[in-house]
Amino acid sequence: MMIQVRKDLCIRNLTEKDAIDVFETIDQNRTYLRKWLPWVDGTASHTTVAEVISFWEAERQNGSGEIYGIFLNDRYIGNIGLHDMKKPNRSGMIGYWLSQRYQGNGIMTDCVRVLINRGFYTLNLNRIYIHCATPNRKSRCIPERLGFTQEGVLQDGENLYGEYFDLVVYGLVKRNWFDSSGRNNCYLNAAHLYDLEQNDVSNADIPFYLDYAVRAKGKVLELACGTGRVSLKLAETGCQVTGLDLSESMLNVFYDKLAQAASDIRDRISLHSGSMSNFTLNEAFSLIIAPCRAFQALTEQGDIQNCLSCIREHLNDDGRFIINVFRPYKVLDESWCYPDTVRWTRDTKTGSHIVKKDRGEKIDTLRQIIYPSFTYEITEPGSDAVVLQEKLYLKYYYKDQLKSLLTDAGFRIIEEFGWYDKSGIDSGRELIFVCGK
């Protein structure tokens, strides 16, 4: 199994075919790794490594552990794994090591983050812990950065070649896990699958935005432009469009589309990497939009207010700002949460079979935030399944709350709709507001 971490980075199960690469990487880093890892001297040849890989595979099959190789641009650079998984307590320990030359680039932090998500949301663990030697600051920074709690110290917890070291114990329980990397940066791992989504919103909103873009008779700014679903359609009709998105993965897909587009369309689109909560583009726009409920990805009050302030600063005096969020069908509570549900399956032209599942992880009714997660299971002919995971954090609004938020930020509400056919706001599943200064 392989799990994509970033566009250039993945973790996957090792096979005996990887033994030589693993051994050579250990051998090249032997002096460095020996400072903190007790097994280095016992790794004497690729044959030894092959035996260990076979043992890891047995652990995977009996459910006691999952060990992965880390690959950067298909080059093996280290290991990460969930060890000692215990079913009664639903706990597991993460261990890791990385080739010295690749340290300091956030690689291991990103890999640990992905493995935490797998542990909590796929393997249904409740507690994950990490042991680090007290002097090993590089290793300790990772759990500290990811929100683990320092639970204590195991005195003389590890014997490294005759010298004992204390081990710092870091723990994290599922209810306290908040993957801050995804807070405003949706679709880190599955951006290339985003366009497979086919829902009523993505089929209905394009004509709506085209109508307002044509009437605006000026430049358009799309916040959270993603893979270009809306921006490209606007540019095809002659609009000058600026797109802003925080997700490099989504923008990379957009750039790939632009490379295939006609030159006149490419000339009408300008893309920027950045957060919609804090942007300065040094130009004003006749229309600013945030389609597909993108505004709800902002969950912190400061980010929300900053976003609205930036929008107002970038809006022409006679310009329009359109915001849409989903309309809660009732006062949301714990009943919103739901188990894994298959949403769709796709068979692509390349022969891939893709299954998308989602789950309602939890809801914070005080802060009005829902926590859905998505899993994409991709099976290529003759290959093991690849699992990609995404997590969203979405703030939900009731109608009067959103209206007050907009007016308090200095906007006038000019029109309000419940759907993209411009039906009444109380009759649809969306809250759509067309605003001016």
**Per-residue pLDDT tens over the stretch 257-316:** 999 999 999 999 999 888 898 888 989 999 999 999 999 999 888 889 989 999 999 999
Q: For residues 384 and 339, what is the distance between their CA atoms, to the nearest angstrom?
A: 25
Task: Please report the pLDDT score of residue 184 as a whole number.
Answer: 46
Residues 276 and 193 placed together within one structural domain of the fold: yes
Domain C-terminal end among 149, 177, 205:
177
Is 217 in the same domain as 130?
A: no
Tell me the three-class secondary structure of 183-222, residue by residue. Answer: CCCCCCCCHHHHHHCCCHHHHHHHHHHHHHHHHHCCCEEE
Within 10 angstroms of residue 20's Cβ, the number of other Cβ atoms is 15
Number of domains in the chain: 2
* pLDDT over 70 (residue 114): yes
Tokens of 113: 């983050």
Give pLDDT tens digits for 241-250: 999 998 877 8
Q: Please identify, among 122, 148, 177, the residue that sits at the C-terminal boundary of a domain.
A: 177
- Please say if the pLDDT value at position 389 is more than 90: no
Q: Tokens 């190789």 appear where?
A: 69
- Return d(Cα 187, Cα 194) in angstroms, integer: 8
Asked whether residue 183 carries a pLDDT value surpassing 60, the answer given is no
**Which residue segment(s) compose the domain that 81 sits in?**
2-177
Q: Give the number of other Cβ atoms within 10 Å of residue 32's Cβ.
A: 15
111 with 254, same domain: the answer is no
Q: Which of 177, 204, 233 delimits the end of a domain?
A: 177
Same domain? For 237 and 108 the reply is: no
